[in-house]
Structure 1
Amino acid sequence: MAKRIIQRLFPNRHAVKEHKALRFLGNWLHDPSLWHLNRRSVAGAFAVGLFMAFVPFPAQMVGAALLAVAFRVNLAISVALVWLTNPVTIPPMFYFAYLVGNWLLGAPAHHPANFHLTAAWFQDEFSRIWRPLLLGSFVVGSSLSVLGYFGIRLFWRMHVVRRWQQRMRRHRAEHKS
């Protein structure tokens, strides 16, 4: 059931192969493992997508596509999960990553007094926050990646067991009558 829902929601491989942002991958997009929907491929795609969602740099989708190709996991899911970071979620996600990085470094959090949306303000503040932000992003992204991988594998296994049990109950009911 979950497999059918995923197949319906995600674009087919031909549409993705023709997408202008992914054309640079060329023949690598013809690898069938990038399009399979099985426990290994989907769990790996979740790991890649969740990790790349916490990379605090542009081109997360390209990074997710490259990692999906490298690890031979579902490309569409890997790239789609990067969209967890969007204009609404970026501030809390990266602020949390920054706080985690500060905690790991044993440094107090820097809270700028006057916010000005200018390149100069951002450059000045970024020079103060880049270390904890990168460390926190790596740790949070890696942790969510591992949790996502094993969570999907567990969910998939529970789904298969439940379907097997339903088939067995139907089979027994049919043979009782």
Structure 2
Amino acid sequence: MPRKIIKRYLPRPESFKDHASLKFLSSHLADPGVWTLTRNSVSGAFSIGLFFAFMPMPFQMLAAALLAIFFRVNLPISVGLVWVSNPLTMPAMLYVCYLLGAWVLDLPVYPSPSSGMMDWISTQFRHIWKPLLLGCVLAGAIAAILANIAVRLIWRWQVSISWNRRQQKRLPPPKKN
């Protein structure tokens, strides 16, 4: 079952109790609902984490954590998936989001950057902010929906395999003639 695989890699809730920087969230971190591994909590965590991974904003992890606590989905998965957008992947993600937003708004696309992506964004920001932000929201929403559906399907598939294995073990052995 996916729960066993995921549990191996998640931190324990006790490891967050004594963090001085997390004292303001201590009552929420004690809630077992943000640590459970159910189909709903994991798929919701994937949705929140991937949505915020596409948002070009500071403190993405904090926003994902607050929404995970509010919706009572798995907190470590939500926060961990925000790191899909890291310093290596973020420039490409932003450019694809910009292209998506420009396509939806039917705006001309500014030439791709010859220097660094972040320099291009800072110099062209007044021209590209609308398609960039729209593309980020759309890409985040699409990734969230697809991840939610994929996690639910994979979870269901794994559970059905597990049930079939147990059922096969319960069957009496075939009689020999």
Residue 142 of structure 1: CA displacement? 0.4
* Distance in 2 separating the partners of 1:103 and 1:16: 44
SS at match of 1:99: helix
Structure 1 counterpart of 2:133, one-letter code = L
* Distance in 1 separating the partners of 2:134 and 2:60: 17
Output one character per residue of 1:6-57: Cα deviation in whole Å (capped at 9) or x when no partner.
Answer: 1111111122344455443231112111000010100000000010100111
Q: Which residue of 2 aligns with 1:68?
A: 68
Q: Which residue of 1 aligns with 2:26?
A: 26
Q: Which residue of 2 aligns with 1:131?
A: 130
CA gap of 1:114–1:151, structure 2 versus 1, over 3 A, is: closer
SS at match of 2:56: coil
Q: Is the 8 A contact 1:56 1:137 kept in 2?
A: yes
When the two chains are superposed, the root-mean-square deviation of aligned CA atoms in Å is 2.2
CA gap of 1:108–1:26, structure 2 versus 1, over 3 A, is: same
Q: Which residue of 2 aligns with 1:102?
A: 102
* Distance in 2 separating the partners of 1:107 and 1:122: 16
Q: Which residue of 2 aligns with 1:3?
A: 3
Structure 2 counterpart of 1:110, one-letter code = Y
Percent identity, aligned pairs only, is 43
CA gap of 1:127–1:17, structure 2 versus 1, over 3 A, is: farther
* Distance in 2 separating the partners of 1:64 and 1:164: 34
Structure 2 counterpart of 1:132, one-letter code = P
Query: Gapped runs of 5+ residues in structure 2?
Result: none
Q: Which residue of 1 aligns with 2:170?
A: 171
Structure 1 counterpart of 2:31, one-letter code = D
Residue 5 of structure 1: CA displacement? 2.1
Residue 2 of structure 1: CA displacement? 2.4
Q: Is the 8 A contact 1:22 1:62 kept in 2?
A: no
Residue 127 of structure 1: CA displacement? 1.5
Q: Which residue of 1 aligns with 2:140?
A: 141
Query: Gapped runs of 5+ residues in structure 1?
Result: none
* Distance in 1 separating the partners of 2:141 and 2:101: 13
Q: Is the 8 A contact 1:55 1:137 kept in 2?
A: yes
